[in-house]
């Protein structure tokens, strides 16, 4: 009898525990996936530009960059500065191309976010020089800090730099080809930048799979990705289930812990997600599975509905490639409307 009572009590406890877990799961789902936010107004729209990717597409990077400034007439641009483009040979630093970009943007009143460090936008994420491979973890840390110091001191003369982005998705371990780095390196990099210049510091995290908190703890601005259609080995092309409210609620929770933190969209998907192949190797019909004009427009509305007041669009190199190589300027022209509208609002 006593043993049966103990089993009955144990079963009740397990059943109660099971129901509590179900309630937590249901509550979390409702909180993050149900509801709407007030759409953001007066959004600052920008693009992310990677010179290295222009070269990969066999396109004139200077011509593309100036078209972004003068034809698209963007107001904000995030510029990837890969390590191997700055220090291809050890202790020989070359900054000329990035002075060209920063100066051209400054002359046109365009706000710039330089992305510095060893991990910068575009696959394979870490764009390190060949000589870095032989370094130990400790040596890699010291060379990264030296790189950061050189970059900030070289570029801080430009008053159109709105903030520094230190590393790109540095805590994302499931994507990219990167060397092993010490856990405390990001914090040391941020402190080094703070000691050299007083402008805000941003880092980024995966909007969909990152925890955000650790990345946000030491910065003024956290940038997060927003991807809609992606590719994986299985099930190939598929659409993420995350609604706009997911990003808004997650940001709201984070800002309760860090009241002065800004959360922005650092990488809004506006190009196809391809399986590690160049655009030149993938038929347009396949590219349009993950990005077409309808999806392009939907992603803009999706970003507005997140409530964030600043977004950097990902894919300007693809819009340009479509226009120049494929003779299709529909994406380029659709994107241009964002800054035309922005200019009209500014004049009002």
Residue with token string 């060209």: 100
Q: How far is CA 107 from the centre of its chain?
A: 26
Q: How far is CA 261 from the centre of its chain?
A: 17
Strands 229-232 and 236-239: antiparallel
End-to-end CA distance of the chain: 82
The number of beta carbons lying within 10 Å of the beta carbon of residue 343 is 12
42 Ramachandran zone, left/alpha/beta (phi>0; psi -120 to 50): left
In eight-state DSSP terms, residue 128 is -
Q: What's the rounded Cα separation, in Å, for the pair 95 and 87? A: 9
Alpha helices in the chain (DSSP H): 2-33, 51-56, 61-67, 83-86, 96-107, 137-155, 185-196, 213-216, 244-257, 284-290, 293-305, 316-324, 330-347
Q: What's the rounded Cα separation, in Å, for the pair 166 and 168? A: 7
Q: What's the rounded Cα separation, in Å, for the pair 341 and 228? A: 24
Which backbone phi and psi does 306 adopt, to 5 degrees? -75, -20
Cis peptide before 49 (omega within 30 of 0): no
C-alpha distances in Å from residue 201, one per residue of 61, 70, 267: 27, 28, 17
Tokens of 122: 């575009």
Q: What's the rounded Cα separation, in Å, for the pair 217 and 347? A: 37
- Domain boundaries defined on the chain: 1-34, 38-347
Domain 38-347 has CATH 3.20.20.80: yes
Residue with token string 């019909």: 285
* Positions of the chain with pLDDT under 50: 2, 24, 344, 347
Q: What pLDDT, on a 0 to 100 scale, did the predictor assign at position 24?
A: 47
| Nearby residues of 141 by Cβ (< 8 Å), 6 or more positions away | 181, 182, 185, 188
pTM of the model: 0.92
Which backbone phi and psi does 25 adopt, to 5 degrees? -65, -45
- The total number of residues shown for the chain amounts to 348
Q: H or E stretch including 117?
A: none
Tens-place pLDDT, residues 223-271? 999 999 998 887 789 999 999 999 999 999 999 999 999 999 999 999 9
Q: What's the burial of 44, exposed, middle or buried (CB within 10 Å: 0-12/13-18/19+)?
A: middle
Q: What's the rounded Cα separation, in Å, for the pair 131 and 118? A: 13
Q: What pLDDT, on a 0 to 100 scale, did the predictor assign at position 235?
A: 75
């Amino acid at each position: 009898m006593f043993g049966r009572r103990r089993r009955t009590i144990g079963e009740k406890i397990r059943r109660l525990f099971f129901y509590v877990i179900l309630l937590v799961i249901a509550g979390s789902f409702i909180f993050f996936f149900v509801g709407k936010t007030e759409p953001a107004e007066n959004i600052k729209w920008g693009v992310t530009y990677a010179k290295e990717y222009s070269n990969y597409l066999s396109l004139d990077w200077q011509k593309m960059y100036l078209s972004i400034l003068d034809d698209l007439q963007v107001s904000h641009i995030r510029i990837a500065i890969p390590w191997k483009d700055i220090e291809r040979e050890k202790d020989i630093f070359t900054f000329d191309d990035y002075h060209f970009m920063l100066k051209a943007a400054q002359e046109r009143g365009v706000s710039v976010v330089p992305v510095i460090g060893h991990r910068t936008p575009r696959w394979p994420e870490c764009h390190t020089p060949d000589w870095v491979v032989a370094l130990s973890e400790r040596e890699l840390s010291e060379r990264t800090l030296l790189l950061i110091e050189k970059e900030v001191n070289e570029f801080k003369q430009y008053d159109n730099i709105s903030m520094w982005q230190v590393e790109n998705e540095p805590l994302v371990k499931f994507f990219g080809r990167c060397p092993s780095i010490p856990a405390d390196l990001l914090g040391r990099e941020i402190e080094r930048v703070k000691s050299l210049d007083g402008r805000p510091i941003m880092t980024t995290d995966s909007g969909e799979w990152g925890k955000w908190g650790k990345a946000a703890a030491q910065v003024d601005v956290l940038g997060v990705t927003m991807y809609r259609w992606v590719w994986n080995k299985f099930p190939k092309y598929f659409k993420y289930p995350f609604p706009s409210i997911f990003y808004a609620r997650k940001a709201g929770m984070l800002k309760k812990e860090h009241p002065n933190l800004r959360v922005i969209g650092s990488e809004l998907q506006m190009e196809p997600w391809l399986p590690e192949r160049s655009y030149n190797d993938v038929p347009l019909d396949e590219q349009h599975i993950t990005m077409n004009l309808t999806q392009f427009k939907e992603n803009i509305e999706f970003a507005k509905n997140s409530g964030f007041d600043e977004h950097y669009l990902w894919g300007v190199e693809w819009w340009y490639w479509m226009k120049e190589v494929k003779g299709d300027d529909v994406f380029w022209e659709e994107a241009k409307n964002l800054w035309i509208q922005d200019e009209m609002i500014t004049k009002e």
